[in-house]
């Protein structure tokens, strides 16, 4: 070998070594970056008790970190059930996604994931005959990876991961990121659900009375500091006792649930809707004048008035009355003062013929 060839050989060797070193450094830098992101995500999730925003944060963390085009999270119907439904999703056609239970109590897949809490390739799981029926139930989600969300000894949810936007396969490091993220997510979801159970009425899925009381006091203090308006309306179902006597308590409970659902859909995202007691509800409207609060209450009243509630033989109809009051720092020295004024307005609506909204001025 000539000197020139030897020199060229050593140059190529040094270049290859530099390239390898650069590749190692790049890989290490990415791992450090991923770990830093994972820690920040974990801190963010652990400090979030709002169930919906928590689940959305998990979805967006996966999308942002791994550039995934489709992702869904399956969660338990409630803490006492092993049934799973699609709670949230991104990238799918909404019309094709059902909120029905897709994994039942005796799901073989959920039992398998409980015992094997690491990311699984969907196609690999398809080779296990016992899992075929359950996997067919999630096939419309076009899964590539199935990631269990296990906290301590319980499976809290399942992350269904679709293709990456670039179509490249998931690397070992990316699967490890998902494994760690699912552990953080499972713990956060469990904590959030426990908080939800303590602050949410199980029948209506509205906030419970004591949460409403605390929230109202908090918003009154905020309104006093900022000068922003704050309004409250209290509403109940007209002649509900008579309705129960005629149709029975089971039908009455069904109406309560449906009224609560319509209420959740009618109020603003910033509002706080609560079950005040029995068939009585209350809504706190931060930043809302008495005119805006009246509009919200009237919109809800009209929605309920025209809604057909499922009955045994034919659709049923109910109506509500509501009383609205706006917070006045000089008059409402205690939260009970504001509640009393809204309650008086409700009484006025009842006295004026029901199925109407009255305002305390």
240 Cβ contact list (under 8 Å, min separation 6): 252, 255, 278, 279, 318
Clarify whether 279 is annotated catalytic.
yes
pTM: 0.66
**Domains contained in the chain, CATH given:** 3-195 (3.30.450.40), 209-359 (3.30.70.270)
Lowest-confidence pick of 59-68, 113-122, 305-314: 59-68
Using DSSP, state whether 128 is helix, strand or coil: coil
Phi and psi at residue 4, to the nearest 5° = -65, -40
- Per-residue model confidence as pLDDT tens digits over 3-20: 555 566 556 666 655 555
Lowest-confidence pick of 62-71, 109-118, 133-142, 262-271: 62-71
**What token pair was written down for 106?**
């005796």
CA distance 71 to 166: 15
Specify the pLDDT at position 188: 81
Q: Alpha helix locations (H) across 168-309?
A: 172-199, 209-226, 240-247, 249-266, 290-306
* pLDDT for residue 341 is more than 90: yes
* pLDDT for residue 235 is more than 80: yes
- 94 vs 260, more confident: 260
Specify the pLDDT at position 194: 79
How large is the average pLDDT for residues 303-330?
A: 94
CA-closest candidate to residue 137, choices 105, 118, 109, 95: 109
Q: Are strands 145-151 and 71-76 parallel, antiparallel or unpaired?
A: unpaired
- Per-residue model confidence as pLDDT tens digits over 149-203: 888 778 888 999 999 888 899 998 889 888 888 888 888 878 877 787 788 898 9
**What token pair was written down for 232?**
């409250």
Q: Which of 174, 219, 258, 279 is catalytic?
A: 279
């Amino acid at each position: 070998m000539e000197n020139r060839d030897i020199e060229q050989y050593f140059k190529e060797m040094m270049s290859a070594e530099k390239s390898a070193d650069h590749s190692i450094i790049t890989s290490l830098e990415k791992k450090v970056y991923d770990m830093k992101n994972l820690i920040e995500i974990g801190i963010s999730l652990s400090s979030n008790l709002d169930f919906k925003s928590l689940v959305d944060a998990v979805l967006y963390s996966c999308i942002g970190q791994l550039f995934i085009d489709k992702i869904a999270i399956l969660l338990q119907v409630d803490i006492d059930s092993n049934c799973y439904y699609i709670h949230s999703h991104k990238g799918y056609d909404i019309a094709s996604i059902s909120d029905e239970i897709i994994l039942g109590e005796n799901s073989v897949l959920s039992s398998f994931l409980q015992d094997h809490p690491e990311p699984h390739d969907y196609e690999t799981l398809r080779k296990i005959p016992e899992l075929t029926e359950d996997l067919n139930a999630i096939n419309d989600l076009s899964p590539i990876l199935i990631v269990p969300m296990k906290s301590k000894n319980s499976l809290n949810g399942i992350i269904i991961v679709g293709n990456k936007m670039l179509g490249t396969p998931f690397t070992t490091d990316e699967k490890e990121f998902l494994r760690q993220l699912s552990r953080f997510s499972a713990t956060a979801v469990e904590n959030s659900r426990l908080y939800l159970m303590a602050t949410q009425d199980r029948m209506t899925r509205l906030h419970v009375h004591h949460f409403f009381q605390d929230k109202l006091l908090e918003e009154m203090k905020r309104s006093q500091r900022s000068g922003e308006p704050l309004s409250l309306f209290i509403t109940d179902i007209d002649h509900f006792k008579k309705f129960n006597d005629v149709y029975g308590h089971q039908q009455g409970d069904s109406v309560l649930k449906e009224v609560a659902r319509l209420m959740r859909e009618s109020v603003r995202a910033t509002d706080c809707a609560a079950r005040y007691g029995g068939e009585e509800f209350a809504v706190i409207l931060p930043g809302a004048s008495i005119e805006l609060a009246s509009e919200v209450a009237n919109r809800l009243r009209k929605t309920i008035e025209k809604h057909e509630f499922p009955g045994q033989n034919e659709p049923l109809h109910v109506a509500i009355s509501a009383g609205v009051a706006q917070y006045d720092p000089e008059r409402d020295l205690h939260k009970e003062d504001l509640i009393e004024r809204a309650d008086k307005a409700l009484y006025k609506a009842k006295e004026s013929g029901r199925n109407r909204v009255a305002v305390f001025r």
